């Protein structure tokens, strides 16, 4: 298996008869999926999603793919193809369209409807082209064919890309549920047909490659949820991804059987369910949906609240409910169902939400104690099945952390793909397909782009480090006034601290040391205020570390009298 490594240099020019594949996100993290295809001087982008921040990235709202690799060539971008409408595949599209508004966006009916709702929020108008399974399209040198796949959102598509340099089959996110709620299965007949035609490079979802066997059907979770409804005496709160329309339809159907009405909470939940209902993907009996205002008129045992926040997002509805900071209150007798899986990195946040709800007296039902969720991604048995059907010449695992990608690569090798034809890369690794043979030819710079409020890309890793220090170690300011002519400190040092349990008087012991160090520097001819401030920083920082085992942020201020 060929590995892309940080020590790889820039790739050479792409041969005239070659196809270049550059993942700008999704290989190394679960999120910000984006892959760039290049041939004959033209580009095609498949998916453009976001990654959600972790606790170690305070203040960050979203993380985008790094567009630098294509920023000076956006006039050669033929189209953006979306496999499905999850945020980690469409969330960054508005940011790319800000820079390339002329580029058409292709996707299924539901995918485009949810994207367009997002674009309206960003006040962006785009050219969208609706496609469905079985459809074909051509954009420049890229001939596209779309294939139905089953996932945890309706209307997901795989895409077959045919170029003069070779063919690619990109699965997008998929699984092989044989009894899906909407009857729309992954089209393995088309996978086999395309395999007979010849797939030079197979890009395959890796998320569940470590999980043996087959993912269970969505239908199998219904009995567990139904039992929970049967035993609940008070309100039921269900937290789910705002895009999991199938899951929410199940909740609605079960609620109807138990004589409960449903209310939606959370901006994305309300928006997405409105779109899904309008397009016919979500069915609610007349009078089933109630508003927040109507809830007060209903007894608790007749209510189901469907909200966002299944991943512990701080500002989502469920987190605020757990913090007792929401119009919805829960307590003894109420039941909360977390009908989703954990995205890696969110374990602590979800744990805090579960503990908060439990402290309030609610019963919390989640994947760890009940069968209330099944994954939307193919497990190892399903992936083996696909490899044997498609018989690709080369394989590139996508969508996963390094361990998922490696497990997927090993599955490909087990089915007979030569190890040297399995491209195990990370974000930025450049894979070139020439004469039917794929190779890793180099790497391009590919970092995180942080969205912080209205700021996009201005927040740096250094700034995040400062935020982490402020959050965990506190900060200290030290103000000193000097007379460089007399070589004396005329006022201060004066210290103020935040994030310390101790009173500011604890710093009295270090004040003489700071004063002495500054006056020694003044007598030695150092008069530059920045240089003197650095002396203050070193003396104070060393003392705090020795005495308190802390490394706070220190803000020294030295001014001339």
Give domain status of residue 3, yes or no.
Answer: no
The closest alpha carbon to 17, from 1, 47, 38, 35, belongs to 38
Residue 193 near residue 159 (C-beta atoms within 8 A):
no
Last residue of a domain, one of 409, 425, 452: 452
Query: Does 262 share its domain with 303?
Result: yes
At residue 456 the predicted structure's pLDDT band, cuts being 50, 70 and 90, is low
Residue 470 confidence (pLDDT): 46
Query: Does 182 share its domain with 234?
Result: no
Give domain status of residue 10, yes or no.
Answer: no
Q: For residue 237, what is the domain's CATH number?
A: 3.40.50.10710
Residue 468 has pLDDT above 80, yes or no: no
pLDDT digits (tens, 9 = 90+) for 302-355: 989 888 876 656 667 777 888 777 777 888 888 888 877 666 666 667 778 888
pLDDT digits (tens, 9 = 90+) for 159-168: 999 999 999 9
Structure tokens at 443: 């790497």
**Per-residue pLDDT averaged across 383-399, rounded?**
97
Residue 553 has pLDDT above 80, yes or no: no
At residue 465 the predicted structure's pLDDT band, cuts being 50, 70 and 90, is low
Expressed as residue numbers, the domain containing 488 is: 461-560
The closest alpha carbon to 260, from 290, 225, 302, 227, belongs to 302
Residue 30 near residue 207 (C-beta atoms within 8 A):
yes
Q: For residue 483, what is the domain's CATH number?
A: 3.10.20.580
Q: For residue 56, what is the domain's CATH number?
A: 3.60.15.10
pLDDT digits (tens, 9 = 90+) for 65-93: 999 999 999 999 999 999 999 989 999 99
Number of domains forming the structure of the chain: 3
Last residue of a domain, one of 365, 388, 409: 365
pLDDT digits (tens, 9 = 90+) for 486-528: 778 888 788 877 766 556 677 888 888 888 888 888 877 777 7
Give domain status of residue 555, yes or no.
Answer: yes
At residue 416 the predicted structure's pLDDT band, cuts being 50, 70 and 90, is very high
Give domain status of residue 1, yes or no.
Answer: no
Query: Does 302 share its domain with 423?
Result: no
Residue 413 confidence (pLDDT): 97
Give domain status of residue 176, yes or no.
Answer: yes
* Residue 263: Cβ-neighbour burial (10 angstroms; 0-12, 13-18, 19+): buried
**Per-residue pLDDT averaged across 214-233, rounded?**
88
Residue 419 has pLDDT above 60, yes or no: yes
Query: Does 196 share its domain with 149?
Result: yes
Query: Does 183 share its domain with 317?
Result: no
Query: Does 385 share its domain with 351?
Result: no
Contacts of 182-190 with C-beta under 8 Å, sequence gap 24+, read: 182/154, 182/246, 184/148, 184/150, 184/154, 185/148, 185/150, 186/148, 186/149, 186/150, 187/133, 187/147, 187/148, 187/149, 188/385, 188/386, 188/389, 190/133, 190/147, 190/148
Neighbours of 150 (CB within 10 A): 27
Beta bridge partners of 105: 80, 128
The rounded distance, in Å, linking the Cα atoms of 27 and 170 is 14
Last residue of a domain, one of 393, 426, 452: 452
Give domain status of residue 107, yes or no.
Answer: yes
The rounded distance, in Å, linking the Cα atoms of 430 and 332 is 55
């Amino acid at each position: 298996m060929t590995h892309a490594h940080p020590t790889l240099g820039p790739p050479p020019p792409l041969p005239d008869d070659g196809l270049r594949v550059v993942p700008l996100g999704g290989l190394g993290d679960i999120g910000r999926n984006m892959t760039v295809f290049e041939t004959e001087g033209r580009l095609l982008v498949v998916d453009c999603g976001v990654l959600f921040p972790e606790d170690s990235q305070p203040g960050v709202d979203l993380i985008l793919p790094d567009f630098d690799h294509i920023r000076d060539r956006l006039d050669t971008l033929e189209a953006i193809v979306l496999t499905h409408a999850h945020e980690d595949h469409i969330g960054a599209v508005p940011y790319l369209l800000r820079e390339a508004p002329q580029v058409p966006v292709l996707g299924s009916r539901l995918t485009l409807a949810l994207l367009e709702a997002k674009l309206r929020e960003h006040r962006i108008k785009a050219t969208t082209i609706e496609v469905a399974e079985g459809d074909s399209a051509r954009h420049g040198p890229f001939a596209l064919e779309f294939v139905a796949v089953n996932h945890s959102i309706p209307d997901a598509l795989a895409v077959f890309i045919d170029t003069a340099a070779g063919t690619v089959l990109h699965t997008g996110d998929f699984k092989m549920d044989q009894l899906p709620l909407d009857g729309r299965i992954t089209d393995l007949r088309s996978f086999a047909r395309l395999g007979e035609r010849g797939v030079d490079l197979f890009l395959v979802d890796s998320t569940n490659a470590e999980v043996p066997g087959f993912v269970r059907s969505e239908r199998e979770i219904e009995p567990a949820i139904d039992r929970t409804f049967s035993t609940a005496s008070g309100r039921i709160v269900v937290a789910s991804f705002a895009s999991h329309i199938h899951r929410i339809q199940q909740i609605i159907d079960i609620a109807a059987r138990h004589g409960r009405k449903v209310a939606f909470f959370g901006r994305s939940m309300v928006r997405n369910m409105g779109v899904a209902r309008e397009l016919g993907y979500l069915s609610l009996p007349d009078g089933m949906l109630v508003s927040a205002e109507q809830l007060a008129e209903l007894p608790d045992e007749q209510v189901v609240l469907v909200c966002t926040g299944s991943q512990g997002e701080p500002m989502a509805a469920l987190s605020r409910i757990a913090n007792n900071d929401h119009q919805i209150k829960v307590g003894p007798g109420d039941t909360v169902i977390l009908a989703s899986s954990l995205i890696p990195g969110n374990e602590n946040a979800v744990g805090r939400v579960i503990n908060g709800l439990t402290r309030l007296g609610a019963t919390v039902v989640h994947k760890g104690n009940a069968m209330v969720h099944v994954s939307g991604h193919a497990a190892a048995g399903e992936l083996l099945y696909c490899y044997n059907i498609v018989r690709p010449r080369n394989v590139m695992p996508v969508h996963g952390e390094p361990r998922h990608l490696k497990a997927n690569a090993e599955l490909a090798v087990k089915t007979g793909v030569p190890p040297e034809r399995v491209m195990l890369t990370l974000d930025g690794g450049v894979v070139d397909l020439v004469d039917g043979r794929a190779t890793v030819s180099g790497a391009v710079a590919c970092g995180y782009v942080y969205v912080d409020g209205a700021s996009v890309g201005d927040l740096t890793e250094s700034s995040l480090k400062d935020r982490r220090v402020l959050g965990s170690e506190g900060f200290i300011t030290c103000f000193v006034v000097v007379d460089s002519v007399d070589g004396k400190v005329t006022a201060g040092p004066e210290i103020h601290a935040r994030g310390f349990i101790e009173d500011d008087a604890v710093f009295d012991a270090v004040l003489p040391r700071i004063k002495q160090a500054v006056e020694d520097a003044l007598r030695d001819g150092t008069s530059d205020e920045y240089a003197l401030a650095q002396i203050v920083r070193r003396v104070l920082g060393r003392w705090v570390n020795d005495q308190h085992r802390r490394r706070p942020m220190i803000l020294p201020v030295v001014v001339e009298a």
